[in-house]
Structure 1
């Protein structure tokens, strides 16, 4: 049975860890992000987290109801990274493009954490603030509420789906990732036109593009469709 989660002020009165740090919600989340980066999802356990913090594993449960609660906090932290310092310009399409790229970039900066968290819905402050912002941009641009929600749904799912896809590639062992990248050059670029005329005709373009993320292109296509609808 875990201990009940206590308020922040009560936590701060507790003695420092073996590393001389006072445990906080943020310190635990940041340490968990580092552990995910270094060891992957399998390496993130309460015992290992406690060792990394210089505290007993049970101390983690004073801040989080369980490890899944910590995962949701990590997800919200990544969303906060995406929104940090962002300011609207008044150009709805440019603002949404910037936000989409920020979300994608924030998750790819922590690929192991992205694979673990990007499919989750947290309902926490950073996520809620981001969703409020995106819906506000769309409604402010003149989209009716039904269309605003539909476009928001496609926008956020697209950004997170590409985040998972691209993060999973970055999370591969280096040798496996490099081997996958070479397939376009070593296999596709060598297919003969007699049997694969379309691949052969576009092989140089495939080699040049296919190891980069398609997210910016997909995002532009989504925004172009929304823009055409608004103009119509």
Structure 2
């Protein structure tokens, strides 16, 4: 899908006639189909030809909804952010709410590793993302963090979640043999290092091998929340 220009009205028009497979195109249908294809084929799936074939539509019809590949990619990223917010409700406790949001963002991107590799580093400016930014800043400001500190913690929270999600997604997106080979390294390579040359690894490698099977994100998130609590002003509700 190469870049094309067009008016905002043209981008917003809906296709009223069914495609040859009997479906009516919509932005949501295109995004969901693109996510499915990306999961199967990676970045190569983001093409007019593949999407058109999967939707049973003339490829040119997709330009009524997205005028470039990049616009579609941003919509995929925003969809992952939206899924992270589905079903979440605030508890009123800043630490619990930030923990839940961080874990949800991380899990949403990990659930679609191929899409995460393409989109975790992008800023969409779309509705789901702007709602997430508003929500997180509101939690911090209502939790007593001054505005400057709230912004810095917001930045660190989101970048941390997305950075871990991208790293974990890259591992999940590996071919099975490569992923299995990586997992055995901790036992085959590190587990055989002698204590006289690598005393710290020899003393801890069983713990290390077990811990490295899981994402480091949940513990890293707790460390960041501890730091935020230490920086938070003592006065409750003070901005």
Report the TM range for the smaller structure's normalisation. over 0.9
Displacement of 1:3 in angstroms is 6.7
Q: How many residues align?
A: 230
Deviation at 1:54, TM superposition (A): 0.5
- Other structure's SS at 1:22 match: coil
SS at match of 2:14: helix
How do 1:99-118 residues align onto structure 2 when only pairs under 5 Å count? 99-118=101-120
Counterpart Cα distance in 2 of 1:124 and 1:44: 19
Listed as ranges, the gaps of 5+ residues in structure 2 are 235-239
Q: What CA distance in whole angstroms lies between the structure 1 residues aligned with 2:45 and 2:131? A: 31
User: What do you get for the CA RMSD once the two structures are aligned?
Assistant: 1.3
Once residues 160 and 11 of structure 1 are traced to their aligned partners in structure 2, the CA distance between those partners, rounded to angstroms, is: 33
1:56 to partner: Cα distance: 1.4
Tell me the TM-score normalised to structure 1 length. Answer: 0.96
Post-superposition offset of 1:231:
5.7
Residue 2 of structure 1: how far off its partner (Å): 3.6
Match of 1:164 in 2: 166
CA distance in 2: counterparts of 1:136 and 1:172, whole angstroms? 38
- Please say if 1:155 is aligned against 2:168: no
Tell me if the contact between 1:3 and 1:62 (Cα under 8 Å) persists in the aligned partners. Answer: no
Q: 2:14 aligns with which of 4, 7, 11?
A: 11
Distance 2:20 2:182 in 1: 43
Structure 1: gaps of 5 or more residues: none
Of residues 94, 97, 100, the one that matches 1:98 is 100
User: TM-score, normalized by length of structure 2?
Assistant: 0.93
Residue 132 (str. 1) matches residue 134 (str. 2): yes
Question: Alpha-carbon deviation of 1:7?
Answer: 5.4
Separation in structure 2 between the aligned mates of residue 7 and residue 228 of structure 1, nearest angstrom: 47
Aligned residue for 1:72? 74
Q: Deviations over 1:106-160 (max 9, x none)?
A: 1111000001001000111100000100000000110111110111110000000
Among 21, 29, 39, which residue is 2:41 paired with? 39
Asked if 1 retains the 8 angstrom alpha-carbon contact of 2:11 and 2:67, the reply is: no
Q: CA deviation at 1:44?
A: 2.3
Shift >2 Å, 4+ stretches: 1-8
